[in-house]
Amino acid sequence: MFDIKHELTKIPDLPGIYMMKDDGSQIIYIGKAKNLKKRIKQYFQSQNHAVKIQKMIENIFSFEYIITDSEIEALMLESNLIKKHKPKYNTRLTDDKSYPYIKVTTKDKFPRVYKVREISQDGNKYFGPYTSALAVKQTIESIRNIFKIRDCNLKIITGKENTRPCLNYYINRCSGPCIGKISSEKYMENIHKILDLLNGKEEGLIGELEKRMVEASENLLFEHAAIYRDQIEAIKNLGEKQKVAKASFKDIDIIGVAYGENDAIAQIFFIRSGKITGREDYLLTVNLNDSPEEIIESFVKQYYTGTVYIPKEIFIEKELEDMELIASWLSEIRGNKVTLRVPKKGENSMLMKMVRKNAEEKLNKDVTRIKIQKEESLAAVDELASLIGLESVPRRIEAFDISNIQGMENVGSMVVFENGESKKSDYRRFKIRSVYGQNDYKSMAEMIDRRISRGLSENSSVEKEKKFNQMPDLILVDGGKGHVSIVEDTLINYGLTIPVCGMVKDDRHITRGLIYEKKEVMLLRNTKIYRFISSIQNEAHRFAITYHRDLRKKNAFKTILDDIAEIGEKRKLSLLNTFGSVESISTATLEELEKAPSMNKLAALRVYDFFEKKRSTK
């Protein structure tokens, strides 16, 4: 049981983000704080809250937090996690603007520097994201003023100069590459200085601006001096390192370990497409004489033996004796090269420190509680095996649930528990393909069939990314005898004998008991096994409902335009913005369609022909 009053005493006086959760472990609010202890305590000590906040507080069952090195890192991580989890009580902008990046078009012969909101894998350099659009704007202006780089999008071909340069050349804000006033080599020297600046080596640029500021002040040009002062401040603000979201598309696991006398906490932060998307922590039982290197090596071997996805890069804190051998083993499992390394400097090193700091905090705060929970979970698994008469204790349990609203958008969820603990990295979700309308039995049959057939095919193949190859020791399904029977029939078709239990609920939709071998086994409230089965049932339901909600949101904007070839999301929005409705689009002329932004002759013809055919078939 999560004791909020007791947990409040353990919060550190450090910056970070916090996640408020309801009684179903659903994240309902994410916030950032300069001081986590002060901020989180305010929710439970003050009574002067807005109605929305008070409602949220009434639903808080537990909370979790992640420590960062600065408030700006907390802000960035808060943004990433809000976008991922979409908590009920967080306000989200309808346009969902992302933070700005600075783009340097290094693929060009004479590169430009400008602000963008999205990054692409186009071979150019991106820096950010940054929290202040104003600081980005001022820094780009400083870069252009000092280094005289162009801000036009003119295609410059050496040897074919324009006859007239733009105004920026005449006011000494551009070096004039368009009229051959600077060579590509000299121009690139300035670009390399700019790249150094954006990589954090801003001392040179700040020094130049400070020199100009002093000169302006001595010449009584105070307005100019104030501009230089603001530019210096902007560059310093821009230079504050943030490690939470990097301008890259890499997938990386970062493993940090905190060590106690007989226990250790291993914490993994998952970076996907350059952003921290989640974390997991594991309590390790260690011996007094185990070295940090031995503990890390043992954890890496155990974790990646059971996980379904291995990224290309894994960061750890210590050099291991068999580093190359372990990397080769991981590469063999993944199907292509995996790099295992210890970050020594730069952003990766700072990320490593952040993960380790969070592992240390987790160890100090949670080691006793986690140990008790783990012992209780293991005991519950033992009791479960004994209760239904299994020959061995089920190490891996998979639970399945179906979700739909009046037969619409049938989806299924699979949650996994290993050694009594949830293993979120192995969770899977299914969009039911063969069932239309409400039919939980057929939906369940399809989901189990796909899960088993995929697992068997992966075990007999050399696929790079194996997601289902580990078979469960026990299957739990949300439902009664009918659901259990359907699953058992599917397993028989594959020649498998995996025990199956149904998790049944009472009239108030609360866990009541288990169906096993066509008999119901009642579960007594407030027992280890009851809490364990209830938590699994709630988790499977939560995961299915979340997927169902996401699909409904995704399809809320689905129109008949989605059925037209050549019409993607961008063109669909352009047409709707131009004509106002699908009906107006259907009656537009070919010429009117072609004039809409993002449309061309072929796309306009596709739309026109589509509605013409619709009219002719009526």
Check residue 315 and give its pLDDT.
96
Helix (H), strand (E), coil (C) string for 387-442: HHCCCCCCCEEEEEEEEEECCEEEEEEEEEEECCEECHHHCEEEECCCCCCCCHHH
Which one of 360, 382, 404 terminates a domain? 382
Weakest mean pLDDT among 174-183, 237-246, 334-343: 237-246
* Domain count within the chain: 5
The verdict on whether omega for the bond into residue 111 sits within 30 degrees of 0, i.e. cis, is no
Residue 300 sits in a domain whose CATH number is 3.30.420
**Position 163 confidence tier, pLDDT thresholds 50, 70, 90:** low
Residue 534 domain-assigned? yes
The reply to whether 578 and 496 lie within a common domain is no
CATH number of the domain residue 523 falls in: 3.30.420.340
Distance CA 100, CA 131 (A): 7
Check whether 275 has a pLDDT greater than 50.
Answer: yes
Q: State the Cα–Cα distance between residues 503 and 65, nearest whole angstrom.
A: 32
Question: Are 289 and 362 found together in one domain?
Answer: yes
Q: Is residue 259 part of a domain?
A: yes
Please report whether residue 263 resides in a domain: yes
User: What's the CATH code of the domain at 14?
Assistant: 3.40.1440.10
Query: Distance between CA 54 and CA 36 in Å, rounded?
Result: 19
Element (H, E) at 456: helix 440-459
Residues 419 and 520 in one domain: yes
The pLDDT > 70 percentage for the chain reads 87
Whether residue 505 is found in the same domain as residue 580: no
Assess if residue 96 is contained within a domain. Answer: no
Do 341 and 444 fall into the same domain?
Answer: no
Could you tell me if residue 148 is inside a domain?
A: yes
Q: Tell me which of 332, 362, 382 is where a domain ends.
A: 382
pLDDT at 159: 55
Least confident of 211-215, 360-364, 552-556: 552-556
Kindly indicate the confidence band of residue 534, based on its pLDDT and cuts at 50, 70 and 90. Answer: very high
Question: Average model confidence (pLDDT) for the chain?
Answer: 83
Query: Is residue 534 domain-shared with residue 588, that is, in the same domain?
Result: no
In a domain, 92, yes or no: no
Domain ranges, residue 72: 4-85
Consecutive H or E run containing 257: strand 252-259
**pLDDT-derived band at 242, boundaries 50, 70, 90:** very low
Q: What whole-number distance in Å separates Cα of residue 220 and Cα of residue 516? A: 89
Output the domain CATH number for residue 587.
1.10.150.20
- Do 217 and 355 belong together in one domain? no
- Which of 522, 549, 576 corresponds to the end of one domain? 549
Backbone phi, psi, residue 360, to 5°? -65, -40
pLDDT digits 0-9 by tens, 453-466: 998 888 776 554 56
Is there a single domain that holds both residue 339 and residue 413?
no
Q: Do both 440 and 542 map to the same domain?
A: yes
Contact 418, 384 (CB under 8 A): no
Judge if 131 and 191 occupy the same domain: yes
**pLDDT(503) > 60:** yes
Q: Is residue 247 in some structural domain?
A: no
Q: Is 121 a residue whose pLDDT tops 80?
A: no
Is there a single domain that holds both residue 226 and residue 167?
A: yes
Whether 594 and 479 share a structural domain? no
pLDDT recorded at residue 489: 95
Name 325's Cβ contacts closer than 8 Å, sequence gap at least 6: none
Contact 234, 135 (CB under 8 A): yes
pLDDT at 158: 63
Please report whether residue 126 resides in a domain. yes
